Amino acid sequence: MKVLQQFPIKSVLVTGCNRGIGLELIKYFAEQNKEKNDQPVKVISSSIGLSSELNDLLSEHIFHVELNVTDTKSVSAAVQKVSDIVGNDGLNLLINNAAIMHDDKGVLDCSDQAMKETFDVNVTGPLSVRNFQIKSIHYHFSMKVLQKFLIKSVLVTGANRGIGLELVRYFVEQNKQHHEQPVKVISCSRRLSPELEDMLSEHVYHVGLEVTDNMSVQAAVKIVSDIVGADGLNLLINNAAIMQHGKGVLGCSDQEMKETLTVNVIGPHSVVNNFHPLLKLAAECNSDTPLSCARAAVFNISSELGSIQNTKNSFTTAYRVSKAALNMLTKCQASDFIKDGIICLSVHPGWVRTDLGGPRAPLSTKESVEDIMHMITHCTEEHNGMYVRKNLVSEPY
């Protein structure tokens, strides 16, 4: 309350107040209002429905507003009510407390649906609640090593252009130089570009893959299973992603947030879970090989824009959020899959001249892919779960 007195907070809105921490926050403010009844804080509790505990707390200065953070109509209606309550003073403090946590037992147990629902409530919800911008709200808120390590197969998503296409080109060139021991290169994309089509050959396959469509992912697993056979899949590179150019938090629509999380997080989650048996098979076949990409590995192509610590502005909010989430997903995968002999890394490929990176980027796709290949051929057990850039240098979360 010292802080409340020092900076007179006139109003506070808390989401998810029916129970738990949200309810306790309302109790706290209610107690403070009793002690300092000359300067009461307008406490606006919000939740879906009203619990009896919360109902008991309502009073002259403690309000309740119905609010489902995943429902834009509900958010708009709540903004109107809160606006009426706070009037010209606006809202001082918004506490985004509402959240859910599914009780899954690890990455393989976490369904795409659970991931979607969790993002809807825990990420898109708080973003949607930004609509509470009532007046005074401020949101202070090389192939040598490939031979040595014997990578037999690699799968690249988003392979029809950009970094993904260059990764395929790299492996194709290596196969030309080392034709006695070709790598099975499985390029996946939802469309086949002429450049990718030109590269298809005996050892370079194309599999249609829309990472957001579970049926497409499952169909791809069947085809890849036939391609790799009993050797399994050594290396899965989750490269496909989107970045829309929303301008900051307020410029980022719920739709943009949803689409970006769906492609950049749920996509890699679904792809890895579905391809896990093939990765595990490769790890078992190479059980005498040290943990590495030659045994079994997942490379999640992340971005430095996903570093929370290094974030100085909100440009491309949804993309930043998605890559930060991808980094956490990588940690979870690393923790769950190490026992299966699979290592997982989050990799920043540098700022690269592609459709996504734009023409001003300093790196060509060739330079970026050389850096990625160095990481592929040098990562070991000690890099499992890490978020890295060129030369496997650790990137701050």
Chain contacts with ligand NAP (rule: CB under 6 A): 157-158, 160-164, 189-191, 209-212, 239-242, 263, 267, 301, 303, 348-349, 351-352, 354-357, 361
Residue listed under structure tokens 């993904």: 164
Q: With respect to ligand NAP, which residue has the nearer C-beta, 269 or 348?
A: 348
> Nearer Cβ to ligand NAP, position 336 or 371?
371
Q: Are 163 and 301 in contact (CB under 8 A)?
A: yes
Q: Which CB sits closer to ligand NAP, 219 or 356?
A: 356
Q: Tokens 């795409």 correspond to what residue?
A: 112
For helices 267-285 and 317-337, give the axis angle rounded to 10 degrees: 30
Which of residues 212 and 384 has its CB atom nearest to ligand NAP in the complex?
212
**Burial of 189 (C-beta count, 10 Å sphere; 0-12/13-18/19+):** buried
Beta carbon nearer to ligand NAP, 278 or 318: 318
Q: How far is the CB of 264 from ligand NAP (least distance, A)?
A: 7
Minimal distance, residue 169 CB to ligand NAP, in Å: 12
Q: Which is nearer to ligand NAP, 94 or 263 (CB)?
A: 263
Minimum CB–partner distance for residue 201 and ligand NAP (Å): 20
Dihedral of CA atoms 348, 353, 354, 356 in degrees, nearest 10, equals: 60
* Residue nearest ligand NAP by beta-carbon distance: 162
Closer CB to ligand NAP, 158 or 246, in the complex: 158
Least distance to ligand NAP from the beta carbon of 364, Å? 11
Q: Which of 254, 69, 259, 235 is nearest to 151 (CA)?
A: 235
Min CB(385)–ligand NAP separation in Å = 18
Q: What is the rounded end-to-end Cα distance, in angstroms, of the chain? A: 33
3-state secondary structure of 204: strand
The CA angle 215-285-275, to the nearest 5 degrees, is 15
Q: Which of 308, 319, 313 lies closest to 387, judged by CA?
A: 308
Closer residue to ligand NAP (CB): 124 or 368: 368
Kindly state the smallest distance separating residue 167's Cβ from ligand NAP, in Å: 9
Order of strands across the sheet with 184-189? 204-208, 184-189, 153-157, 235-238, 297-301, 343-347, 387-389, 393-394
Interior CA angle at 216 toward 211 and 227, to 5°?
100
Going by DSSP bridges, is the β-strand pair 387-389/393-394 parallel, antiparallel, or unpaired? antiparallel
Distance CA 147, CA 255 (A): 45
Shortest Cβ 305–ligand NAP spacing (Å): 7
Minimum separation from the CB atom of position 310 to ligand NAP (A): 13
Q: What distances in angstroms separate CA 50 from CA 7, 42, 63, 155, 214, one per listed residue? A: 30, 18, 11, 50, 37
Q: What would you report as the CA-atom Rg of the chain, rounded to the nearest whole angstrom?
A: 25
Q: How far is the CB of 211 from ligand NAP (least distance, A)?
A: 4
Q: What is the DSSP letter of 68?
A: -
Nearest to ligand NAP of 17, 217 (CB atom): 217
